Structure 1
Amino acid sequence: MVRIDPSAVLWSAPERQRSERPLLLLLHGFGSHEGDLFGFAPYLPLSPVLASVRAPLPEGPGFAWFPLSGQVTLDELSDSVDAATDALIEWIRSTGASTVGVLGFSQGGAMGLQLMRSAPDLVEFVVSIAGFVLPGDRPGDRQLRELRPPVFWGRGTLDSVIPRDAVAYTQSWLPEHSSLDERIYEGLAHAVSEAELRDVVAFLHEQY
């Protein structure tokens, strides 16, 4: 069974200072680790508690939320995504947080959107940097059409990592299921620029 390792979570505040504060979940990309996005902490709003979570699957020098190998079938991919999503939901609920936002990069951005689709009652907004919407239906999709939670989706014009069909699907899906703030950055590859970070921080301040 897939589980989140609580000992691998990086927190921005000790447990005694987390009570009744909103939770901002940081989800790293494929092959990375929990320390990656935690480097953004000095720039992010102070009101939420940050929790940077390690993905459950070992991948190269880091970790992954789901496999990306061409040998993986769609059914196997779906099972792996569902397992990671369920593990995240279980872990989030164990924290007792009542207000949850997600900031994810690449595969972590995809997982943030998948969390919102699986538990719209739990996730209030998502920042998906160079992320994408995974195919298939989720239990909360119909509810999201009514709720339209805030979503920031940023990507670069030179991002060659995310397939074009995944970008196209995300472009069609997000406007129908969220209040979308879509940003495209000229000349940016699969990365985060200073301009995008400023826009992300501004978006987060709107939520808090």
Structure 2
Amino acid sequence: MIDADLVQWTRPAEERAGTPLLVMLHGVGSNERDLLGLAPALPLAWTTASLRAPMSWGPGFSWYPLGTPGSPAPGPVDAAVEEVLAWIDGVVADHPRIGLLGFSQGGSMALQLLRARPTGFAFAVSLSGFVVPVTDARDDAVAAVRPRVFLGHGDADPVIPAEATARTQAWAAAHTDVTDRTYPGLPHAVSAAELADVAGFVDAA
């Protein structure tokens, strides 16, 4: 379950109603405070909520078991997606639009959330992430909607296999309205240039 008491918000409860909501999903071994540092560089009109993944992993947390890098089993991913959707359903009445931003494993969650609810989100941002490698009957519904997606990845990423990145680019091109950016020399991280591009993407939503 997503622990609502651990969610990190950029606005106090009394100021959230009516604002668009950006849901942040961290990577493996991290926690709900990690991506919150990106929030000051993003459009201030958006309220940000950073969630903690439900599984313990090393010093931090994980959304699902790792498996093969970039190629997790789909069942546990979908189980985690259902937990995030349940949390979103509890807050959606306060927010006219909801966007997703995930890093690494969190990026795979953002794209899988689109598969689960193609019309439910204003956009999904996947940074150093990947799409789950499965033929998914829900992809036809995603392609019919063509939701806005931002893919950001470095060409020096030692964590996400090149095959997984290429698969994700092909999937996004076929099913979404994608903005695809590759950052020379960037490892498994978020750069200032990438963050500026994400800010512009979110601002246009």
TM range (shorter): over 0.9
Instruction: Indicate yes or no: 2:33 matched with 1:35.
Output: yes
1:138 positional shift: 4.0
Read off the aligned partner of 1:38 and give its amino acid letter.
L
Aligned counterpart in structure 2 of residue 12 of structure 1, from 10, 13, 18: 10
Q: Please, what TM-score do these two structures have when normalized by structure 2? A: 0.93
User: Structure 1, residues 98-149: CA drift from partner, whole Å, max 9, x if none?
Assistant: 4110111111011000001101121220111001110124453212212111
The aligned residue for residue 90 of structure 1 is 86
When residues 138 and 4 of structure 1 are mapped into structure 2, their CA distance, relative to the original with a 3 A threshold, is farther
Separation of aligned partners in 1, 2:16 and 2:137: 30
Read off the aligned partner of 2:86 and give its amino acid letter.
E
Q: Please, what TM-score do these two structures have when normalized by structure 1? A: 0.92
Separation of aligned partners in 1, 2:148 and 2:67: 31
The 8 Å contact of residues 117 and 139 in structure 1, kept in 2 or not, is answered as no
The aligned residue for residue 165 of structure 1 is 163
The 8 Å contact of residues 4 and 88 in structure 1, kept in 2 or not, is answered as yes
Structure 1 residue ranges without an equivalent (≥5):
none
Read off the aligned partner of 2:197 and give its amino acid letter.
D
When residues 139 and 89 of structure 1 are mapped into structure 2, their CA distance, relative to the original with a 3 A threshold, is farther
The 8 Å contact of residues 98 and 122 in structure 1, kept in 2 or not, is answered as no
Pairing of 1:25-174 with structure 2 (within 5 A): 25-69=23-67, 77-96=73-92, 97-138=95-136, 140-174=138-172
1:164 positional shift: 2.0
Separation of aligned partners in 1, 2:143 and 2:203: 24
Structure 2 residue ranges without an equivalent (≥5):
none
Read off the aligned partner of 1:51 and give its amino acid letter.
A
Separation of aligned partners in 1, 2:12 and 2:98: 18
Separation of aligned partners in 2, 1:54 and 1:204: 22
The 8 Å contact of residues 101 and 124 in structure 1, kept in 2 or not, is answered as yes
The percentage of counterpart residues that share the same residue type is 46
Name the count of aligned residue pairs.
201
Separation of aligned partners in 1, 2:136 and 2:6: 28
Moved segments of 4+, more than 4 Å: none
Separation of aligned partners in 2, 1:43 and 1:138: 35
Separation of aligned partners in 2, 1:81 and 1:7: 23
The 8 Å contact of residues 74 and 132 in structure 2, kept in 1 or not, is answered as no
User: What RMSD in Å do the two structures reach over aligned CA positions?
Assistant: 1.5
1:69 positional shift: 4.0
Separation of aligned partners in 2, 1:57 and 1:139: 27
